[in-house]
Structure 1
Amino acid sequence: MSKVGVMVMGPAGVGKSTFCNSMMAYMESQGRSANLVNLDPAATAHEYEFTIDIRDLISLDDVEDELKLGPNGGLIYCFEFLLKNLDWLDDQIGDYPDDYLIFDCPGQIELYSHIPAMPIVVKHIQQQLNFNLCCTYLIEAPFMVDRAKFFSGALEAMSTMIFMELPHLNILSKMDLVKGKMSKREVRKFLCPDPMLMNDDEVQDDQKDLILTNPKYRRLNKAIAQLVDDFGMVQFLPLDCSDRDKSESLRTIVTCIDNMTQWDENQEPKDPAEDMEEPEDPEDQ
């Protein structure tokens, strides 16, 4: 059986928990087994219960109360503590060797950009527990309205892809918030980001004044957009969780994840003979 894990990453408030819940609901609808793993020491209640919860080991509230640390320092301390107690994670995951694990990760960008804690955890799960992992990185679809902000998010996604060294899937979450505001043709320009989006004729009127009054800002935005295009590494899939039962976007994302983690290839093949009746022995006739 396959041992598959999906690391759900992205900044705070981007919709990671909603995506995790939607993934769990989709798995149920397909008759597939999945478990939700919480790696966020500051997590709140989920629609689906956590099978494995880092707060059973350490919680941000306890760290803040006892060590008088702020949210950022406290979260880093929690992950340093986890690194010293990876045997706890081994014991927890060891009970679910053949299931599909969905890891809900914290929203602190430092963990995906320059603090090595998360990559160490990822490599441990890969090498010591033999899981096929992939990363999904979410940014909000409303960023498309502010194109400079969108390309900034795209750069962060690319940085995470390089830092984590995992098969990677970028997702535009909260697509329901831009319905009726952008046409499908406009949205497609952002799924495979084009640096031409930063040209004056592509920028919305309410942003032109800011860009045109500051030539350095304008050149910087175009340089960032060109950098994303030059690497050709950043593409997005849209995600709309507003209607899970009819979400084609969710089905597409799960299919991509299955391909990246080779989930289908690692399933035990079904014996066709099991569906066929055994032929009668002529001597019995």
Structure 2
Amino acid sequence: MNAADQIRSIRREVQRAVLGVDRAVDLALTALIAGGHILFEDVPGVGKTVLAQALARAIQASFRRIQFTSDMLPSDILGVHIWRPDTQAFEFREGPIFAHIVLADEINRASPKTQSALLEVMAEHQVSLDHRVYPLPRPFFLMATQNPIEFQGTFPLPESQMDRFMMCIPVGYPDPQAESHILLTPSPERLLQQVRPVATTQDVLTLQAAAEQIYVHPDVLQYVVQLARATRRHPQVLLGISPRAGKHMVAAARARALMEGRPYVTPDDVQALCAPVWAHRLIPRMPPSTSPAEWAQRVLQDVLQQVPVPV
């Protein structure tokens, strides 16, 4: 089985439980294969938790869900050293972050101090505690959620953390046929029981390594660079696309090419991923008249029209 077929089999299993939101499933798989993390910004009840659980079942990965609250401490996430009188030594008790797939539910309800505990985790896939370093399981995939409507009792994610999410997307509502099927299903667990394990975490690591070998033509690479630079020059933008965001774009485009069975990246890959990968990173000079997401997508459309497409 080649890489594209294996990815299709994983997608097919996830879609047994996550109905009618195929784009969200595809982008979550893209972020996983690209080695990034994803932020779902959507209202409650659209299937974010089920998506994470279904993906974990399909690839036989360990899964933990962390419900973020305002009184949560970094040690509640990372873990803590416990003194053992019988051995006269400290023992490290792992926190819930030590899993292949971690769902950080309502991440913006945690205090900035607790949110900052995830910075090293997301960038370096490790936990540093009391001068010791503990590596996380590989692959490590953080799937976070936040409600874009409710702001009471929340703390906005800082730019440094938003920039570490490869993608920020809405899940969206399912189509009418899928929604009817969901309404007749007794519980999400019934849908999850239909998901079969068709890959392993080692297979995912192999897919990630294969994605890194996808060819990126110098003209396509320059296309990404020019798009990023155009966002920094845009008159409405205070903070444009960073080099890290450019790296995320290249990695995501490679993963998309692998998913479609191509050994190379095309400009279409970049254009298709522009909003999911870059929109959440743009900071406006003035408060926009529309929602931040709509404003960012409009800016990116301007940039895509301005920068010539390589042929």
- Which band: TM-score by shorter chain? 0.3 to 0.5
Structure 1 or 2, whichever has the larger Rg, is 1
User: Which has more helix, going by share of residues?
Assistant: 1
